[in-house]
Every structure is written in C-alpha cells, then in structure tokens.
C-alpha cells in the first residue's frame, strides 16, 4: 500500500519537474537573466544594508546622587525584588538581562538590556564617562522625598551630564526619574522638574560668567536670553515617577524598552 503511494508521489514529482523545465525553457533567455539579476541584486542590497546598520546599543545608564535609590531600582529590574539590606553603593552594579517583568513572556525572543548602576559618589564619577558614550539612554534618579536639601547637588550633577559632548552629540535621551513616590511626602514630578530647571538656570548664569579657560563643560545649555527649560536640550529629556521599594517601575521599564527594543 505505502510503496504504491510513494511511487505515485514520485511520478507526480517527476511530472512537475518536467513541466517546470519546459516552462523555463520557453522563457526567452533575456527575461530569465533579467529575473536572476533582480534576485541577486536584491540579496546584495540586503547584505549591504545589514552591514552598514550599526549594531544598536542596549546599554542603559542608571545614575544620580547617592541615596536616590539606583541600586534598589537595579535589583528590582533584574530580580523583581529590592534586596533590601544587602545593598552597597560603592561599586557599579552591572548586568545584562531580560527585565524581570518580561521573563514570563517568551524569554528567548526578548533582547536583554545591559544596565549599569553608576554610583553618584563624586569619586566614582569618572566611571560615568566610560559608560555614557555607549548608552542608549540615561536614567537620572532623584530622591523625591529628600529632594530640596539635595537640589543643588543634583542640579550640578545633571548639568554636567547634559553638557557632555558624548550626550549632546549623540542626543542620548535622558529620563528624570522621581523615585520613592511610595512616600506621601514625595514631591510631584512637575515640582521637581521646575526646581531643577531653576537651579540649572542659576548654574548656567554662574558658569558662563567664569572665564572661558575655567569652563570644563563641553557644551553650553539652553537658549541664550531665555530661562532654562529641559525642552531646550538637544537630547530628549523626559520626566517619570517610580518606587524601587514597592516595585513600581513601569514608567522606567517603558523608557528602557523605548530605547532598547525588545
């Protein structure tokens, strides 16, 4: 029975092959060559496009003053837990992983994110220059509760980042992340944005007053004659809220996945 079927199939295949052969022979050779030419050049074009399309970065730099909650956020993104009590702030935490909230989806198909948590400690800031040039996005974490006592320091740090050549030239998007919103005393993100803009405005005035030899910042910020606002930056600056402690990191994850496509 089975052999009979196989034989039938074989004959059918042979017939199909013969018909195809006849068909191809009937096509004028010029047309055939043209068709082959089109196929080959299309393949070629695809290869060239692939070659020139630079491998997009998957690095997200988490930074901000010490105590703002970067390390807790890092663990929350990686493990879905804050690892409270085991957290130290002297070493950069670094890892390449699929976000914890994504692990329930088809894991193999999701592109991992390389996340670097660069401590805000001034001694470690050179670390930032190492990671910024390859960043797909920067997350600047701000403590929304203890915000006012730190506004000056935070603005200085943010100013330095926003005037770095690597950030300006590559237009690396920055997310101002107001963290610890689980506390009722947390300031709103609009308040934080406005205060930071005001502080940066003051910094800008004092820094441009310095003699040009003293200016270490590579680019100037904002529009001359206008009060500073984040929308004047060459790179996109967005504001969002989070709580690393309670695992409320959806806006942060949205930012990450906008710039590191899954």
Ligand X SMILES: Nc1nc2c(ncn2[C@@H]2O[C@H](COP(=O)(O)OP(=O)(O)O)[C@@H](O)[C@H]2O)c(=O)[nH]1
Q: How far is the CB of 249 from ligand X (least distance, A)?
A: 9
Q: How many CB atoms lie within 10 A of CB 41?
A: 10
Helices 250-259/70-79 angle, 10° precision: 80
Q: Which of 89, 101, 134, 166 binds Mg ion (CB under 5 A)?
A: 89
Question: What are 212's two structure tokens?
Answer: 């040009």
Do 75 and 130 meet the contact criterion of CB atoms below 8 Å apart? Answer: no
The entry of Mg ion, ligand X, none that residue 183 binds, CB within 5 to 8 Å by partner kind: ligand X
Query: 202 Cβ partners below 8 Å, 6+ apart?
Result: none
Task: Choose which of 59, 63, 68, 71 interacts with Mg ion (CB under 5 A).
Answer: 71
58 binds, among Mg ion, ligand X, none (CB under 5 to 8 A by kind): none
Q: Judged by CB, which is closer to ligand X: 87, or 229?
A: 87
Binding partner of 84, given Mg ion, ligand X, none, CB within 5-8 angstroms per partner class: ligand X
Q: Which residues bind ligand X (CB under 6 A)?
A: 66-72, 84, 87, 89, 179-180, 182-183, 243-245
CA 179 to chain centre: 18
Torsion angle (degrees, nearest 10) of CA 141, 142, 144, 148: 180
Smaller CB separation from Mg ion, 117 or 197: 117
Kindly tell me which of 75 and 230 has the beta carbon lying closer to Mg ion: 75
Q: Supply the DSSP string of 140-183, one letter for each residue.
A: EEEESSS-GGGHHHHHHHHHHHHT-HHHHHTT--EEEEEE-TTS
Q: Which lies closer to ligand X via its Cβ, residue 201 or residue 248?
A: 248
Q: Which of residues 109 and 123 has its CB atom nearest to Mg ion in the complex?
A: 123
Least Å from the CB of residue 210 to Mg ion: 32
Residues that bind Mg ion (CB under 5 A): 70-71, 89
């Amino acid at each position: 029975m089975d052999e009979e079927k196989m034989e039938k199939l074989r004959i059918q295949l042979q017939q199909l092959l013969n018909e195809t052969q006849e068909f191809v022979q009937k096509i004028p050779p010029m047309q055939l060559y043209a068709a082959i030419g089109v196929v080959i050049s299309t393949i070629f074009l695809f290869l060239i496009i692939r070659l020139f399309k630079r491998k997009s970065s998957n690095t997200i730099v988490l930074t901000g003053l010490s105590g703002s909650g970067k390390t807790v956020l890092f663990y929350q993104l990686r493990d879905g837990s804050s690892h409270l009590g085991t957290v130290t702030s002297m070493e950069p935490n670094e890892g390449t992983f699929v976000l914890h909230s994504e692990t329930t989806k088809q894991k193999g198909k999701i592109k991992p994110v390389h996340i670097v948590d660069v401590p805000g400690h001034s001694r470690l800031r050179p670390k930032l220059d190492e990671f910024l040039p390859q960043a797909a996005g920067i997350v600047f974490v701000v403590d929304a509760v203890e915000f006012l006592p730190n506004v000056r320091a935070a603005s200085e740090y943010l100013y330095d980042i926003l005037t770095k050549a690597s950030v300006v030239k590559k237009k690396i998007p920055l997310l101002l992340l107001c963290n610890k919103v689980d506390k009722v005393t947390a300031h709103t993100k609009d308040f934080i944005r406005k205060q930071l803009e005001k502080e940066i405005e003051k910094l800008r005035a004092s820094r441009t007053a310095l003699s040009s030899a003293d200016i270490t910042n590579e680019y100037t910020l904002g529009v001359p004659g206008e009060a500073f606002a984040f929308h004047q930056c060459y790179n996109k600056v967005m504001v969002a809220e989070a709580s690393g402690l309670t695992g409320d990191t959806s806006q942060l994850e949205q930012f990450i996945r906008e710039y590191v496509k899954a």
